[in-house]
Amino acid sequence: MKVIRVGNASGFWGDNPDAAPELCDKGELDYLTLDYLAEVSMSILARQRAKDPTRGFARDMIDCLAAIAPHIRKGLRIVTNGGGLEPLRALLALRSRLQDRKYPVPATSVVLGDDLMPRLDELLDSGCPLAHLDDGKPISVIRERVRTANAYLGAAGPVHALQAGAQIVITGRVADPSLTVACARHAFGWDDGEWDKLAGAAVAGHLIECGAQATGGLFTDWETVEGYDRIGYPIAEIDESGGVVITKAADSGGCVRRESIVEQLLYEVGDPREFHTPDVCIDLSGVTLEDDGDQRVRVRGVRGRPPNEFYKVSATYSDGYMAAGKLTVFGERAAAKAKVCGDSVFAQLRRRGVHCAESLVEVLGTGACLGRTELDERATEVVLRVAVHDPKRGNVVRFSKYIAPLVTSGPPGVTGYADGRPSVREVFAYWPALIKKTAVETEIIVQQPVS
In tens, the pLDDT along 258-288 reads 999 999 999 999 999 999 999 999 999 999 9
**What's the pLDDT band for 319 if we cut at 50, 70, 90?**
very high
**What's the pLDDT band for 50 if we cut at 50, 70, 90?**
confident
Residues 180 and 301 placed together within one structural domain of the fold: yes
One-letter identity of residue 46: A
**What's the pLDDT band for 6 if we cut at 50, 70, 90?**
very high
- CATH assignment of the domain containing 342: 3.30.70.360
| 31 is a domain residue | yes
Number of folded domains in the chain? 2
What does the pLDDT average to over 177-201? 97
> Could you tell me how far CA 379 lies from the centroid of its own chain?
35
Residues 325 and 281 placed together within one structural domain of the fold: no
Q: Are 191 and 181 in contact (CB under 8 A)?
A: no
Residues 375 and 245 placed together within one structural domain of the fold: no
Question: Is the model's pLDDT at 168 over the cut of 90?
Answer: yes
The reported pLDDT for the residue numbered 404 is 94
**What's the pLDDT band for 407 if we cut at 50, 70, 90?**
very high
Could you tell me the CA-to-CA distances from 165 to 176, 300, 331 in Å, in that order?
22, 32, 65
| 304 is a domain residue | yes
Residues 6+ apart with CB under 8 A from 441: 113
Rounded to whole angstroms, the Cα distance separating 158 from 179 reads 8
Model confidence, pTM: 0.95
One-letter identity of residue 411: P
Residues 282 and 411 placed together within one structural domain of the fold: no
The reported pLDDT for the residue numbered 396 is 98
Question: Is the model's pLDDT at 367 over the cut of 90?
Answer: no
**What's the pLDDT band for 374 if we cut at 50, 70, 90?**
confident
What is the domain extent for residue 327? 320-427
The reported pLDDT for the residue numbered 90 is 97
Residues 304 and 325 placed together within one structural domain of the fold: no
| 147 is a domain residue | no
The reported pLDDT for the residue numbered 372 is 81
Residues 239 and 169 placed together within one structural domain of the fold: yes
